[in-house]
Amino acid sequence: MFVSSSFETLPDEIILHICQYLRGADVLFSFYNLNNRLNITITGYCRYVNLLSVSYEQFEYSVSHVLPQISNSVQTFLLNGNWETIISKKLNSILFQSPMTLLFPQLQKLIIKWFTTEKLLLFIDTLHDLPQLIELDIRFLKGKMLNSLLTKVLSTNNNQLSIVSFDHDSIDFDICDDITLISYPNIEQLTVNLTEAKFMTNLFLLIPNIRCLYLSIEEMSTEIKCQSIFTNLPYLLHLITFQLRSINLFWTLDQISHILKVMPSLQELTFDLRTEDKRLINKENLLTILPRSLIKLEYFIRYYFSQLESEIETTKSFSSPHFPVISMLDEPRSRFIIYTIPCNLHSVILTGTVSQYMPSGWKYMQQTENLYIAHITSVLEILHILQHFRRLRTLTIDAKDKSQILSLPLKSESINFKLPFLKQIEIFGIFELFPLFNVAPNIDYMIIYFDCLKLLLNDESTCHLLQTQVVRLNIVNWEDIESDLIERISEIFCSLRHLVIVLKDSKILIDDFVLKVLSLWKGKSRLSIDIKGLLSKETSENLRQWIITHSHMREEDSFAVECNDNWFDLWF
């Protein structure tokens, strides 16, 4: 006998399994407050709130009606700085103007994305009297460097933060001498990018009780300009984990030795740097500078040599029974890449030429999530490298010759592997992409140049793979607004939620192009559109009404639109 059932009769386990296929905002929008039982079932989605990649209608409803009701449950919230100028005044006042303690009194972690430095400096003032807020995670911070910003962030929430991080995509900081008398003993874990190595002294003074420090130095030079900094570094007595990433400076053993001397309690040490000092990759010399407290050492070193023939004979000295290492020759750059195994770096940069020297196996690279492959000359190089990185989440491939079409040779060897976790790919150059997408079935975010996209959309096999995968597409150097490529995009990418187009000629008027894009997505899934180009003065003066008059959008529809700095943004 057939027994009918409803969604509500399903057990919690099945409902939560269904929710795994939805975005957090979709779950809140669809299920919250339908009944008390479902509210309890989706409690976890009320603790971590991420409103990215949803329609404006869902966003508006969630902020206005759901957030006020779950405010006491929210422990982690993601805030997008790009929302501030496009959303309504009502929503803006809720998210950006009011003290955060009124919105989320139990907040423990705040993730901030795509803020400018000026916006962040003002927004920090809304973060106070939050008794449980201890972590601030800042990503994609852009704009000019402001001297007071770093210290303002470290003192956020009445100096109650203990964890602060700026990702690699955020700005680099200078730390001026006028703040050296200030310290922030509350900070125990910090991830930060510095413009120059000389600012390490002031940084160490700011964080006397730091326990975990992840430091990136972006200075580009053949040598560190101010050598005296290494003899005046303040002690970090509580530091147990230290990671130094500095791939644009040539470091010496003596410099690293001075840094380690001020870290007497260090237990875990990671280096990602380059050097011409052979002592730094010699096991006996390295052991002499390590703190006695050290338990774990990992490094990824680019060692540059002057005479290829004489240096190859010394590769055996790279091996160490205390710290197992792998060395790969990068002959065109006269360097070895030497790293401990397993390699636990989250981000790695390689060149295509090392593909032939990588050892077999992949588990020694399983912790790497972000990979950049530069100077690529063939698709085969990419596959040879990728087979060693099974847990990648983001990939950037950069061709040596951006005008040449790179494809897989017809008689190339078969390489069997999968990249199930790869979600984002950024492409610089023109590649035949089917072999790559065939091993990465879950890519949903693609950044690609116009010429490469044209090649991709002419290949039916690749289009079939991407048909339901890609939800965000960024197209760079769009050359022809009369091209029928936009029609092909609307046909192929049927799950697209966010489309970004950057015109090669930013002075071209895009009024008609915008309307064409809107017409193609009429009746389809709601889309967020960003186009870099010029709108006519008449259009810009009354943009919302222009959209309503010339498209299928109606006055009562829920959408937001703006044009700033030659960016047209529509969220509907």
Position 116 in a domain: yes
Position 37 in a domain: yes
Integer Cα distance of 447 and 529 in angstroms: 14
* Cβ 254 vs Cβ 289: under 8 Å: no
- pLDDT for 110: 98
Please state the pTM of the whole predicted model.
Answer: 0.91
Position 237 in a domain: no
Give yes or no for residue 165 having a pLDDT over 80: yes
- pLDDT for 223: 66
What are the angstrom distances between the C-alpha of 346 and each of 269, 349, 424, 457?
Answer: 14, 11, 15, 32
* Cβ 315 vs Cβ 338: under 8 Å: no
- pLDDT for 362: 66
Integer Cα distance of 440 and 466 in angstroms: 10
181 pLDDT band, cuts 50/70/90, is low
User: DSSP 3-state assignment of 275?
Assistant: strand
Could you tell me which residue, 35 or 412, shows the higher pLDDT?
35
Position 117 in a domain: yes
- Find the helix or strand (DSSP H, E) in which 181 lies: none
Position 148 in a domain: yes
Give yes or no for residue 419 having a pLDDT over 50: yes
* E strand intervals along 35-134: 48-50, 76-80, 109-113
Integer Cα distance of 336 and 326 in angstroms: 10
Of 255-259, 321-325, 466-470, highest mean pLDDT? 255-259
Per residue in 303-347, pLDDT (tens digit) is 998 764 444 444 545 555 466 888 888 888 888 999 888 888 899
Of 127, 142, 171, which closes a domain?
171
* Cβ 197 vs Cβ 165: under 8 Å: no
Among the residue ranges 30-44, 118-132, 240-254, 394-408, the one predicted with the least confidence is: 30-44
- pLDDT for 1: 46
pLDDT > 70 in the chain, percent: 94
What are the angstrom distances between the C-alpha of 387 and each of 7, 34, 250, 381, 407?
Answer: 42, 46, 30, 10, 18
Radius of gyration of the chain (CA): 26
Per residue in 497-513, pLDDT (tens digit) is 899 999 999 889 999 99
Q: In a 10 Å sphere around its CB, with 0-12 CB exposed, 13-18 middle and 19+ buried, how is residue 180 labelled?
A: middle
Per residue in 69-96, pLDDT (tens digit) is 999 999 999 999 999 999 999 999 999 9
Integer Cα distance of 398 and 229 in angstroms: 36
Position 449 in a domain: no
376 pLDDT band, cuts 50/70/90, is very high
* E strand intervals along 292-436: 296-304, 325-330, 335-340, 347-351, 370-376, 394-399, 405-406, 424-428, 430-431
User: What integer best gives the mean pLDDT of the chain?
Assistant: 89
428: which residues sit within 8 A by CB, 6+ positions away?
396, 397, 398, 399, 402, 449
DSSP state of 94: I
Integer Cα distance of 214 and 234 in angstroms: 17
Of 124, 141, 171, which closes a domain?
171
Residues forming a β-bridge with 175: none
Mean per-residue pLDDT for 22-46?
86
* Cβ 213 vs Cβ 243: under 8 Å: yes
Q: Give the closest residue to 74 by CA, choosing from 35, 104, 111, 96.
A: 104
31: which residues sit within 8 A by CB, 6+ positions away?
19, 38, 41, 42
DSSP state of 523: T
Of 171, 193, 226, which closes a domain?
171
CATH code, domain carrying 6 = 3.80.10
Could you tell me which residue, 137 or 553, shows the higher pLDDT?
137
Integer Cα distance of 320 and 370 in angstroms: 27
Position 310 in a domain: no
Q: Give the closest residue to 426 by CA, choosing from 440, 445, 450.
A: 445
Per residue in 559-569, pLDDT (tens digit) is 999 998 899 99
Range of the domain at 66: 1-171
- pLDDT for 269: 95
- pLDDT for 179: 58
Mean per-residue pLDDT for 47-75?
92
**What's the total number of domains in the chain?**
2
Crossing angle for the helix pair 485-492 and 450-457, nearest 10 degrees?
60
* Cβ 514 vs Cβ 543: under 8 Å: no
Position 534 in a domain: yes
- pLDDT for 397: 97
Could you tell me which residue, 265 or 312, shows the higher pLDDT?
265
Instruction: Count CA atoms closer than 13 A to 225's CA, side-chain side.
Output: 8
Among positive and negative, which fits the CA dihedral 274, 275, 279, 282?
Answer: positive
